[in-house]
Amino acid sequence: MEDNETPAANHNENVDTKSSENPTEEAGGTRKVSGNDEVCWSRLKLFDKVMEQSLQRFIGWASFNRFASMFHQLYKMNPRRMESIHKQFTEELRRAIKDDISALIEEGRLEAKLNELDKLELAVKDNTDPAWRPSGVPEQDFSSFVMPFYQKQKAYLRLELKKIQAENAALALKVQAGRERIAQTENHISTAVADWKASVMEFESLASSLCPADVFDV
Protein backbone atom coordinates (compact mmCIF):
# COMPACT_ATOMS: atom_id res chain seq x y z
CA MET A 1 0.00 0.00 0.00
CA GLU A 2 1.32 3.42 -0.96
CA ASP A 3 2.27 6.04 1.67
CA ASN A 4 -0.39 8.49 0.44
CA GLU A 5 -3.18 5.97 0.97
CA THR A 6 -6.02 7.26 3.16
CA PRO A 7 -9.15 5.51 4.50
CA ALA A 8 -11.83 5.27 1.86
CA ALA A 9 -14.52 7.86 2.17
CA ASN A 10 -17.22 5.26 1.73
CA HIS A 11 -15.69 2.84 4.26
CA ASN A 12 -18.08 1.21 6.65
CA GLU A 13 -17.73 3.10 9.95
CA ASN A 14 -19.10 0.20 12.05
CA VAL A 15 -21.38 2.59 13.86
CA ASP A 16 -24.90 1.41 14.60
CA THR A 17 -27.18 4.10 13.29
CA LYS A 18 -30.95 4.25 13.12
CA SER A 19 -32.93 5.79 10.37
CA SER A 20 -35.49 8.30 11.48
CA GLU A 21 -38.64 6.49 12.39
CA ASN A 22 -42.19 7.59 12.64
CA PRO A 23 -42.91 7.87 16.40
CA THR A 24 -46.27 6.25 15.86
CA GLU A 25 -44.64 3.16 14.30
CA GLU A 26 -42.01 2.44 16.98
CA ALA A 27 -42.90 -0.59 19.09
CA GLY A 28 -43.69 0.42 22.62
CA GLY A 29 -42.77 4.02 21.89
CA THR A 30 -46.25 5.44 22.04
CA ARG A 31 -49.29 5.13 24.21
CA LYS A 32 -52.89 5.82 23.26
CA VAL A 33 -55.29 7.63 25.48
CA SER A 34 -59.00 6.97 25.66
CA GLY A 35 -61.46 8.63 23.35
CA ASN A 36 -60.42 10.53 20.25
CA ASP A 37 -57.30 12.01 21.79
CA GLU A 38 -54.11 12.21 19.79
CA VAL A 39 -51.40 9.60 20.09
CA CYS A 40 -48.77 11.06 22.39
CA TRP A 41 -45.34 10.08 23.56
CA SER A 42 -44.69 9.03 27.11
CA ARG A 43 -41.92 11.09 28.59
CA LEU A 44 -39.87 8.02 29.43
CA LYS A 45 -39.93 6.74 25.84
CA LEU A 46 -39.16 10.21 24.56
CA PHE A 47 -36.23 10.48 26.97
CA ASP A 48 -34.91 7.10 25.79
CA LYS A 49 -35.15 8.17 22.15
CA VAL A 50 -33.37 11.47 22.79
CA MET A 51 -30.61 9.70 24.73
CA GLU A 52 -30.20 7.15 21.93
CA GLN A 53 -29.97 9.84 19.25
CA SER A 54 -27.47 11.81 21.33
CA LEU A 55 -25.41 8.66 21.81
CA GLN A 56 -25.49 7.95 18.07
CA ARG A 57 -24.23 11.45 17.34
CA PHE A 58 -21.50 11.16 19.92
CA ILE A 59 -20.38 7.75 18.65
CA GLY A 60 -20.62 9.07 15.10
CA TRP A 61 -18.14 11.78 16.00
CA ALA A 62 -15.58 9.02 16.60
CA SER A 63 -16.03 7.67 13.08
CA PHE A 64 -13.64 5.16 11.60
CA ASN A 65 -12.23 7.68 9.12
CA ARG A 66 -11.39 10.08 11.93
CA PHE A 67 -10.09 7.26 14.11
CA ALA A 68 -7.88 5.94 11.29
CA SER A 69 -6.59 9.40 10.45
CA MET A 70 -5.41 9.83 14.02
CA PHE A 71 -3.45 6.56 13.78
CA HIS A 72 -2.53 6.77 10.12
CA GLN A 73 0.72 4.85 10.37
CA LEU A 74 -0.90 1.97 12.23
CA TYR A 75 -3.73 1.93 9.70
CA LYS A 76 -1.29 1.61 6.84
CA MET A 77 0.38 -1.30 8.56
CA ASN A 78 -2.78 -3.29 9.27
CA PRO A 79 -6.12 -1.81 8.14
CA ARG A 80 -8.16 -4.82 9.25
CA ARG A 81 -6.65 -4.72 12.71
CA MET A 82 -7.53 -1.02 12.96
CA GLU A 83 -11.11 -1.82 11.95
CA SER A 84 -11.33 -4.41 14.71
CA ILE A 85 -9.84 -2.01 17.27
CA HIS A 86 -12.25 0.74 16.24
CA LYS A 87 -15.24 -1.61 16.46
CA GLN A 88 -14.24 -2.78 19.93
CA PHE A 89 -13.59 0.82 21.00
CA THR A 90 -17.04 2.04 19.90
CA GLU A 91 -18.79 -0.95 21.50
CA GLU A 92 -17.03 -0.43 24.83
CA LEU A 93 -17.68 3.32 24.67
CA ARG A 94 -21.36 2.79 23.95
CA ARG A 95 -21.70 0.25 26.77
CA ALA A 96 -19.95 2.53 29.28
CA ILE A 97 -22.12 5.52 28.37
CA LYS A 98 -25.32 3.48 28.59
CA ASP A 99 -24.29 2.11 31.99
CA ASP A 100 -23.66 5.63 33.28
CA ILE A 101 -27.01 6.86 31.97
CA SER A 102 -28.82 3.88 33.54
CA ALA A 103 -27.10 4.54 36.87
CA LEU A 104 -28.17 8.20 36.78
CA ILE A 105 -31.77 7.25 35.89
CA GLU A 106 -31.92 4.78 38.77
CA GLU A 107 -30.28 7.14 41.25
CA GLY A 108 -32.60 10.02 40.42
CA ARG A 109 -35.72 7.80 40.18
CA LEU A 110 -36.27 9.38 36.76
CA GLU A 111 -38.58 6.66 35.46
CA ALA A 112 -41.08 7.08 38.30
CA LYS A 113 -40.97 10.86 38.03
CA LEU A 114 -41.52 10.90 34.27
CA ASN A 115 -44.42 8.47 34.60
CA GLU A 116 -45.90 10.69 37.32
CA LEU A 117 -45.69 13.67 34.95
CA ASP A 118 -47.55 11.65 32.32
CA LYS A 119 -50.31 10.89 34.84
CA LEU A 120 -50.56 14.55 35.85
CA GLU A 121 -50.80 15.57 32.19
CA LEU A 122 -53.64 13.14 31.58
CA ALA A 123 -55.39 14.27 34.76
CA VAL A 124 -55.51 17.92 33.63
CA LYS A 125 -56.03 17.23 29.93
CA ASP A 126 -59.76 18.03 30.05
CA ASN A 127 -59.40 20.84 32.58
CA THR A 128 -60.45 24.13 30.98
CA ASP A 129 -59.50 26.32 33.93
CA PRO A 130 -56.67 28.76 33.18
CA ALA A 131 -53.31 27.57 34.44
CA TRP A 132 -51.26 29.66 36.81
CA ARG A 133 -48.50 31.72 35.28
CA PRO A 134 -45.87 33.83 37.07
CA SER A 135 -46.60 37.55 37.12
CA GLY A 136 -42.96 38.55 36.93
CA VAL A 137 -43.02 39.98 40.45
CA PRO A 138 -41.54 37.39 42.82
CA GLU A 139 -43.11 38.98 45.89
CA GLN A 140 -46.61 38.72 44.45
CA ASP A 141 -46.08 35.17 43.20
CA PHE A 142 -44.72 34.05 46.54
CA SER A 143 -47.56 35.79 48.37
CA SER A 144 -50.20 34.20 46.13
CA PHE A 145 -48.67 30.81 46.82
CA VAL A 146 -48.20 31.22 50.57
CA MET A 147 -51.35 33.18 51.49
CA PRO A 148 -53.81 30.28 50.96
CA PHE A 149 -51.68 28.17 53.29
CA TYR A 150 -51.61 30.93 55.90
CA GLN A 151 -55.36 31.43 55.58
CA LYS A 152 -55.98 27.72 56.18
CA GLN A 153 -53.69 27.83 59.19
CA LYS A 154 -55.48 30.92 60.48
CA ALA A 155 -58.89 29.26 60.13
CA TYR A 156 -57.56 26.18 61.89
CA LEU A 157 -56.14 28.25 64.76
CA ARG A 158 -59.42 30.13 65.13
CA LEU A 159 -61.29 26.83 65.38
CA GLU A 160 -58.83 25.55 67.98
CA LEU A 161 -59.14 28.83 69.89
CA LYS A 162 -62.92 28.47 70.01
CA LYS A 163 -62.55 24.92 71.31
CA ILE A 164 -60.13 26.05 74.02
CA GLN A 165 -62.39 28.96 74.99
CA ALA A 166 -65.36 26.59 75.26
CA GLU A 167 -63.31 24.21 77.39
CA ASN A 168 -62.18 27.09 79.63
CA ALA A 169 -65.78 28.27 80.04
CA ALA A 170 -66.86 24.74 81.01
CA LEU A 171 -63.98 24.51 83.50
CA ALA A 172 -64.91 27.92 84.94
CA LEU A 173 -68.47 26.72 85.50
CA LYS A 174 -67.19 23.60 87.23
CA VAL A 175 -64.90 25.69 89.45
CA GLN A 176 -67.76 28.04 90.33
CA ALA A 177 -70.02 25.09 91.15
CA GLY A 178 -67.26 23.62 93.32
CA ARG A 179 -66.83 26.91 95.20
CA GLU A 180 -70.55 27.10 95.78
CA ARG A 181 -70.55 23.54 97.17
CA ILE A 182 -67.65 24.41 99.44
CA ALA A 183 -69.44 27.54 100.65
CA GLN A 184 -72.58 25.51 101.35
CA THR A 185 -70.55 22.89 103.21
CA GLU A 186 -68.86 25.61 105.30
CA ASN A 187 -72.26 27.11 106.05
CA HIS A 188 -73.61 23.72 107.12
CA ILE A 189 -70.57 23.18 109.35
CA SER A 190 -70.94 26.62 110.92
CA THR A 191 -74.64 26.01 111.53
CA ALA A 192 -73.94 22.60 113.05
CA VAL A 193 -71.24 24.04 115.35
CA ALA A 194 -73.55 26.85 116.43
CA ASP A 195 -76.32 24.34 117.13
CA TRP A 196 -73.91 22.16 119.09
CA LYS A 197 -72.73 25.12 121.18
CA ALA A 198 -76.33 26.12 121.85
CA SER A 199 -77.15 22.56 122.89
CA VAL A 200 -74.15 22.50 125.26
CA MET A 201 -75.11 25.82 126.85
CA GLU A 202 -78.71 24.63 127.20
CA PHE A 203 -77.54 21.41 128.83
CA GLU A 204 -75.29 23.25 131.25
CA SER A 205 -78.13 25.63 132.15
CA LEU A 206 -80.49 22.71 132.72
CA ALA A 207 -77.92 20.91 134.83
CA SER A 208 -77.37 23.98 136.95
CA SER A 209 -81.09 24.42 137.57
CA LEU A 210 -81.56 20.81 138.60
CA CYS A 211 -78.54 20.67 140.87
CA PRO A 212 -78.02 24.08 142.45
CA ALA A 213 -74.57 24.47 143.96
CA ASP A 214 -75.84 25.51 147.46
CA VAL A 215 -77.60 22.14 147.93
CA PHE A 216 -74.26 20.40 148.17
CA ASP A 217 -72.75 22.96 150.52
CA VAL A 218 -71.82 21.47 153.92
Q: What is the mean pLDDT of each run of 10 residues along the chain (218 residues)?
A: 42 40 39 40 82 86 78 82 85 89 87 85 77 80 84 93 95 93 92 86 76 54
- Residue 218 domain flag: yes
Task: Write down the pLDDT at residue 41.
Answer: 62
Burial 153-166 (b: 16+ CB within 10 A, else e): eeeeeeeeeeeeee
State whether 106 and 190 are in the same domain: no
Residue 12 falls within a domain, yes or no? no
**Does residue 190 sit within a domain?**
yes
Per the domain annotation, does 137 fall within a domain? no
- Residue that is last in its domain, among 123, 138, 169: 123
Clarify whether residues 105 and 163 are in a common domain: no
CA distances (Å), origin 143, targets 15, 80, 139, 147, 158:
55, 69, 6, 6, 21
3-23 core/surface letters (b: 16 or more CB in 10 A; e: else): eeeebeeeeebbbeeeeeeee
Amino acid 1: pLDDT:
39
**109 lies in the same domain as 166:** no
pLDDT for res 146: 85
Q: Are residues 35 and 114 in the same domain?
A: yes
pLDDT for res 197:
84
In a domain, residue 148? The reply is no
Report the number of distinct structural domains present in the chain. 2
What 8-state DSSP symbol labels residue 32? P
Q: Is residue 136 part of a domain?
A: no
Query: Would you say residue 138 lies in a domain?
Result: no
Q: Are residues 164 and 91 in the same domain?
A: no
- 179 domain-assigned: yes
- Conformational region of residue 70, where left means phi above 0, alpha means psi within -120 to 50, and beta covers everything else: alpha
pLDDT value of residue 32: 41
Residue 167 has what pLDDT? 94
Please give the pLDDT value at position 175. Answer: 94
Domain range for 107 is 30-123
**119 and 167 share one domain:** no
If asked whether residues 118 and 195 sit together in one domain, one would say: no
